[in-house]
Structure formats: structure tokens, C-alpha cells
Amino acid sequence: MNGPAEQGRGSVDVDPLDIDQALATRAAMTLGTKVGLMRLTARKRAVVDKTGILLRYLKCRLGPGKLSPEEFLKFGLDGATNADLHRFVGHVAQQEMHDACNDSTWFATSKNKLLWQTIQLGAGLPVPETLAIYDRYGRGGGVPVLKHKSSLAAFLSDPLNIPVFCKPVTGVYSIGAFRVDEFDGKTALVNGQWKKSVCDIVGYFESIGKKGYLLQRPLKPHGKLSKITGNSVATLRCFLLMDGGTSSVIRTVLKLPTKGEVADNFWRPDAQLCAIDTGNGKLTRIITNKGSARTPKIVSRTDGFPSKGFKVPDFQESIELVHEAARHFPAVRTQSWDIAITDTGPVLMELNFGGDLSLVQMAHAKGILDNEYCDHLRRCGYSGKLPRGCS
């Protein structure tokens, strides 16, 4: 199937904001002369202190955050102070920190979306309505389980089941997710613009859905956000720490998809990240991806809607919901939650096992290693480097 989901799959099979070690090594060798020069030239600086940039990068690479060259540039640290440099965390250090905080035996409770949703339903918490489960082994319960291509085709051909949102049970970065908006008896409208046969869609399920698919009723966006997202739904990312049954949300970000996009992941062109004040739910900073999945171009936005001071609808209710949900995962002591802001209130979308720290750092233009998170890391047994002044 040649829809957006397949395009995403073809262009992004790992975090698009990361690069592999070979590329990182080559970038480190040329950082002071090529990459750094390109960035500073774009900013129209008259003098390029290549040595200074390289030294700042090495402090990041050898410091607490273990940043790669691309992460160093992605976070805009070529002019940062030493104190700020050591507050940012890259992918390598992120994984080590999550490993120290989270019990690995709990990983499947967040990775497997069917298992995670079963837990939420058992706790009586709001999640998207699942209409059916596609699983070759017959796993699932409470809704129809589609084991064969014929039963899947029959489900997709029934107008009563349309529209439907489809996502892999163990998917990441929304790769493989798509929405069937209409079915006229012969062809289906996928993601609002491509016409595909049911046979095409079933073949797509078969190619990447080996561990199952969830078929869910699409959510509708909150009226205050539909102006920018259309029929796509924005989500609130909450970075939360668990300590002895007590939870604390220390950073929040609103993820805004472009109209027509099936998901809000920042690798998608024109997606926006909004830094949110955790105390009052108001927007403080906005960035957007003006590039592509492979070559993101992060731009700070100062005009348009929403603007600074805009308050996230149902913000307090979303925070309360996250605290309620988090207590059911006591051994996952560092959690990142996605909550859909819908026309009927906040809905839990997923729990990330630690989560991608780059999102909250990019949005806020501030490293995650503040005193609260550093104290949390030490209580969890993390033995790696932390910035000066942290416990």
C-alpha cells in the first residue's frame, strides 16, 4: 500500500532525529570545520570560532549527557554556556538512565499496546475504543478477534466499521499507523487522500502486522485545537517521575499534528512542539519541523495560532488522569505519557518506558537534568555522571 503509513515506513525505521555511530564519528571529525560552519553561517555570524564549538561539543560528549554531534546541533548548543551544556541528555545516556530507573520485567506493559490497553480498561481509565483486533494467533478479548485475511477483509468492507484507525500492537513512532476514512463498496479512502482496495490494505496488514493490529474508533480533536489540527488529534506529553507510589510531572509538551496527518510525531513535516508550563497549562514556546523525516529543520515560531499564553484545553484534568494512570506502573519509575486532547475530554494514548527525552528538551530549549530529575536518578541507583550542583 503506497499511503502515508508506507512512506513513513520506507523513510524512517529508527528515530529520525538520531544517527548511527558511523555517521556520528564522521560528523565529530568535521564538526569544527563543516557542520559547525554551516550552522553559524546560516545565523550570519561574522566570525566562526571553530575550535570553541568543537570544545563545547567535546564537553557534551564526555559529560553527563553523552551527546552525539547531531544531538549537539539539534539542541542548538553551539553557543551554550558550560552549565547549560551539561543539562542536556542524548540517546546513549538516556537509555542508561531509563535502565537504572525502570524494572525491565515491566517493559511489555508499555511496549505491547494490547496489554497496556487491557490494564487501563481494568483500571476503568479512558482509552480509545477498540473495535477489533487483528491477530493471527487469536490473542485478545472483549472485541472481535480477526485471525485470517478473509475476516479482516470482511471487517474493512463493512461500512458500519468505518471510519477506523489502525495501529500495530508493538509499533513505534507511529510507523505503520493509518486511518480508513471512507468505504464506497469498492475502494477505501486512506488518510483522507488515497484510494485503496481492501485487498491493498489487507496486504499491508500482512506485511508489517505480524504481531497484531488494533482497529480503533478514531478520536475527534478538541474544538479549540481543530483550527490547526483539522480532524487530527493533538496530544499532551507528560514526563513523570515515580517515587514510592508518589508521582510528579516535571515537564509537559503539547504535540500538534498538521492537518491531514495521521499522527503527531515530530518527525512528520510541519509538526509542532509546544512547551507548556506545568503549573498553569499555558504555552511558553513553539517549535516546528520545516524539514523532512531524514533531515528535520527545527524552527522556533513566534506568530500564528496557537500563540504564547494559550492554555491547553482540559489541562488540569489531563494531569490528574496521568497521576491516576501512573500509579498502576510502580516499577516504571520514569514514565512518559501521551494524552489525547479530545472533544469528550482527555484520553490515554500510551505509556512510554522512560520515553524520548529529546522532545521535552527541544520544546523547552532546556536540558532535562535539573535538580529534581538528578535526585530521582540517584534515588534509583544511577551511578553515571551528573552536572555539578546535582546530588
Can you give the pLDDT at residue 338? 96
Beta carbons within 10 angstroms of residue 194's beta carbon? 18
Domain boundaries, the chain: 21-90, 103-111+222-367, 129-216
Beta carbons within 10 angstroms of residue 123's beta carbon? 13
Helix (H, G, I), strand (E, B) or coil at 283: strand
Residue 14 reports pLDDT greater than 70: no
346-378: pLDDT as tens digits: 999 999 999 999 999 999 999 999 999 999 999
Range name among 27-31, 36-40, 44-48, 66-70 with the lowest pLDDT average: 27-31
Q: How far apart are the C-alpha atoms of 344 and 123, rounded to whole Å? A: 19
Residue 321 reports pLDDT greater than 80: yes
Residue 301 reports pLDDT greater than 80: no
Q: How far apart are the C-alpha atoms of 89 and 215, rounded to whole Å? A: 36
Please state the length of the chain: 391
Q: How far apart are the C-alpha atoms of 368 and 286, rounded to whole Å? A: 17
33: confidence class by pLDDT, cuts 50, 70, 90: very low
19: confidence class by pLDDT, cuts 50, 70, 90: very low
Can you give the pLDDT at residue 9? 31
Residue 285 reports pLDDT greater than 60: yes
Residue type, 135: D
Give bridge partners of residue 190 from the DSSP assignment. Answer: 180, 194
Can you give the pLDDT at residue 8? 35
134-180: pLDDT as tens digits: 998 888 878 999 999 999 999 999 999 999 999 989 877 777 888 99
Question: What pTM was estimated for this model as a whole?
Answer: 0.83
Q: For residue 238, which of 321, 128, 174, 177 has the smallest C-alpha distance?
A: 321
Can you give the pLDDT at residue 283? 95
Asked whether the beta carbons of 353 and 332 are under 8 A apart, the reply is yes
114-123: pLDDT as tens digits: 999 999 999 9
250: confidence class by pLDDT, cuts 50, 70, 90: very high
Asked whether the beta carbons of 17 and 216 are under 8 A apart, the reply is no
264: confidence class by pLDDT, cuts 50, 70, 90: low
Q: How far apart are the C-alpha atoms of 362 and 148, rounded to whole Å? A: 43
Q: Which residues contact 374 (CB under 8 A, 6 or more apart)?
A: 386, 387, 390, 391
Q: How far is residue 284 from each of residues 93, 255, 276, 308, 363, measured CA to CA in Å? A: 27, 13, 6, 5, 9
Can you give the pLDDT at residue 269? 66
Q: How far is residue 10 from each of residues 7, 176, 193, 203, measured CA to CA in Å? A: 5, 10, 19, 16
Fold classified for 103-111+222-367: D-amino Acid Aminotransferase; Chain A, domain 1 (3.30.470)
Cα–chain center distance at 210: 23
Q: Which residues contact 136 (CB under 8 A, 6 or more apart)?
A: 147, 148, 210, 212
Can you give the pLDDT at residue 304? 63
Quickly tell me which residue has 507510589 as its cell.
245
DSSP code of residue 338: E
Residue 218: asked if its preceding bond is cis (omega within 30°), the reply is: no
Q: For residue 221, which of 256, 187, 248, 250 has the smallest C-alpha distance?
A: 256
Looking only at the bridges linking them, the beta strands covering 272-276 and 283-289 are: antiparallel
Q: How far apart are the C-alpha atoms of 183 and 195, rounded to whole Å? A: 9
Can you give the pLDDT at residue 266? 67
25: confidence class by pLDDT, cuts 50, 70, 90: very low
Q: How far apart are the C-alpha atoms of 53 and 67, rounded to whole Å? A: 14
302: confidence class by pLDDT, cuts 50, 70, 90: low
Can you give the pLDDT at residue 227? 85
Q: Rounded mean pLDDT of 78-89?
A: 88
Range name among 34-48, 81-95, 289-303, 346-360 with the lowest pLDDT average: 34-48
